[in-house]
Amino acid sequence: MLRGMRRHSPALPIACVALFVALGGSVLAATKIDGHSIRARSLPGNRLVPGSLPGNRLRVGAIPADRLAPGSITGAQVDATTLGEVPSAVHAESATAAREAATALRAASAADAEHVNGYSAGCGPGTRAFAGGCWQLQHSLDPLEAPAAAAACAAQGGELPEALALAAFSHEPGVALAIGDEWTGEIAVASGPGLYSVATVSPSAVVSFALSTMTRNFRCVIPLVS
């Protein structure tokens, strides 16, 4: 009867035992090993599969800034509301406000000259910006003939005003034309060589005419850029 039984090789039982141990070990590992079974710092970072540990599983402050690779965090990943004001930005805002204030102060004062291509731009003391020029607020102390008055204004870099412009300027606050009319730069009537009439303006803004050889007070208009 023993002769009829097939004799098995000793390797078969050994293989069966090895298979059982292997299967049993995998099941044991799957059921017994979890996150609580791993000791702190027993698993180095280079043994983790990339992306296997989500960010919400990290404790706040667990990764110091000096452990982050340069460029690993971009602006799109930073919540801007968590950032305070940069110190230099505070100074920049103060500097901008100071420049704007200084500009406003300069613009408010016509006597504070600026420069345009190397030329002064603005009205000096004793003048007021009006009709594109700087008008003298006070008329001349001494009356002169019309040609002499024109020459006096030219010496100051200006000229006699036009008649209608002088009439309009007479209505400006604090402006009073000379009694007896003021010269303008407009020739009204020429009656011969060296004989002509020049338009004048009265304190009540009435335009009249007077011979150029007569004497009148005057005021000059200086260009804004000189």
Name the burial class of residue 147, with classes exposed (0-12), middle (13-18) and buried (19+) by CB atoms within 10 angstroms of its CB.
Answer: middle
Helix (H) or strand (E) holding 192: strand 182-192
CB 156 within 8 A of CB 124: no
73, part of any domain: no
Helix (H) or strand (E) holding 132: none
**pLDDT tens digits, one per residue of 123-167:** 999 999 999 999 999 999 999 999 999 999 999 999 999 999 999
pTM for this entry: 0.49
187, part of any domain: yes
Helix (H) or strand (E) holding 216: strand 215-216
> Within 10 A of 202 (CB to CB), how many other CB atoms are there?
16
168, part of any domain: yes
Q: What's the total number of domains in the chain? A: 1
12, part of any domain: no
203, part of any domain: yes
pLDDT of residue 90: 54
- The domain in which residue 213 lies consists of 142-218
Please name the residue ranges forming H helices in the chain.
11-32, 87-108, 146-155, 163-169
206, part of any domain: yes
CB 210 within 8 A of CB 178: no
205, part of any domain: yes
Split at pLDDT 50, 70, 90, the class of 15 is: low
Rounded-to-integer distance, Cα 25 and Cα 44, Å: 24
What are the percentages of helix, strand and coil residues in the chain, rounded to 5? 35, 20, 45
Whole-number mean pLDDT of the chain? 76
**pLDDT tens digits, one per residue of 19-67:** 555 555 544 444 556 666 667 667 676 676 776 767 667 677 677 777 7
Residues pairing with 190 in the sheet = 196
pLDDT of residue 111: 42
202, part of any domain: yes
* Over residues 93-102, mean pLDDT: 61
